[in-house]
Amino acid sequence: MEVLSTEFRIQLVAIITSFVLMFLVVRLILRGKLREEYSIIWISGTALMLLFSIWRNGIDVLGSFFGVYSAPNLFFFAAVLLILIYLLHISVVLSKLQKQNKSLSQEIALLKDKYEDKAEK
C-alpha cells in the first residue's frame, strides 16, 4: 500500500475544506441567513481557495508575474488588502444603519408624543 505524500494530503484537505465552506455559504443563502450581496464575497473567496488548492503552482506563477520574491507574501498581501477593503465597506454600511436607526427612533418618539397628546384629550 502506497503512502500518500504530504503535499497531496495538504492539497486534499484544502480542496475538501473549500467544498465544505462553499456548501456552508450556499446553505446560509438558501436559509436566508446570508444576503446575496455579501455572499458574492464569500463565494469568490471560496472559489479562489479552491482554484489555488487544485492548481498548486498558481501562487508561484502569480508571484513571478508580479515580480514578488516570495509568492506566499503576495497571497497574504492580497488577503490583507481585501480584508481592509471589506472592513471599510462594512463600516460604511454600519454608519448608514446607525444614522437610519437614530432617525427612526426620533420619528417614533415624535409619533408617541403625538399619540399621547391625542389620548389625553
**Which residue in the block uniquely carries the three cell numbers 444603519?**
97
0.85 surpassed by pTM: no
At 88 the pLDDT is 95
Using DSSP, state whether 34 is helix, strand or coil: coil
At 2 the pLDDT is 63
C-alpha distances in Å from residue 52, one per residue of 11, 23, 97: 9, 18, 36
What pLDDT tens digit does each residue of the chain (121 aa) get? 466 788 888 889 999 999 999 999 999 999 999 888 888 888 988 999 899 889 988 888 888 898 888 888 888 898 899 899 989 989 999 999 999 999 999 999 999 988 888 887 7
DSSP string, 86-121: HHHHHHHHHHHHHHHHHHHHHHHHHHHHHHHHHHH-
Closest CA to 71 of 57, 59, 53: 59
Here the cell at position 39 is 455572499
Using DSSP, state whether 57 is helix, strand or coil: coil
**Which residue in the block uniquely carries the three cell numbers 399619540?**
115
CB 62, CB 71: distance < 8 Å: yes
Q: Residue ranges per domain, the chain?
A: 1-56, 70-121
